[in-house]
Amino acid sequence: MQVTRIIAIRHGETDWNVDKRIQGQLDIRLNDVGLWQATRVAQALGDEVVDALYASDLLRAWQTAQAIAEVTGCPPSPHVGLRERGFGQFEGLTYAEIEASWPDMSRQWRQREPLWAPPGGESLVALRERVLATVSGLAAQHIGGQIIVVAHGGVMDMLYRLATGQGLQAPRAWELGNAAINRLLWTPDGLTLVGWADTSHLDQAVRDESIS
């Protein structure tokens, strides 16, 4: 059977994550917590057999991928198809600022209207098609192997929806944690979920530090 194993990782934390500020396709670097998370997830993946490591070219994902590359020995390859959803006019603003300035657009955004897009940004339908085409194209190059994909919250959300059959407007009831380990299988028929939102490598680190 034509199967590719996928380990999907969301980038580590940024200051904009903490501030609830929309990053979109702006190039924001990891903060100190994010760099620590990147190191921890890299260590957790150290024993994995990896055929290829792909990452969004945006700095927060690229920094996370570089940490993984140092441990796995697999050099990262950048791919623009793994970028976060383009939020256009919303990028750089907090949720509260968006609500205050454009209440109607904020409502459409929060209601997850599939064909709606922020001015200059992407709709959910466009994002889903981009993520599916990108990940399918990468996975098809490594049949029988395993790849790591480092991307963003919006990309992780689409991977979960694609693998579980959740619609674009279904309320999100799954975690999209920074530096969480998510596992999927790809075949020409689509994606299947294996494991989601494993953050044990981060939890264990907190316990270890509290004991030492």
Q: Residues near 208 by Cβ (< 8 Å), separated by ≥ 6?
A: none
Is 122 in the active site?
no
Indicate if the alpha-carbon torsion angle 79, 65, 22, 127 is positive or negative: positive
Structure tokens at 139: 């996975």
Which of 13, 79, 84, 152 is flagged as catalytic? 84
Q: Can 129 be counted among the known catalytic residues?
A: no
Give the distance, in angstroms, between the CA of residue 45 and the centroid of all CA atoms in the same chain: 16
Point out the catalytic residue in the list 11, 79, 152, 201: 11
Known catalytic residues? 11, 84
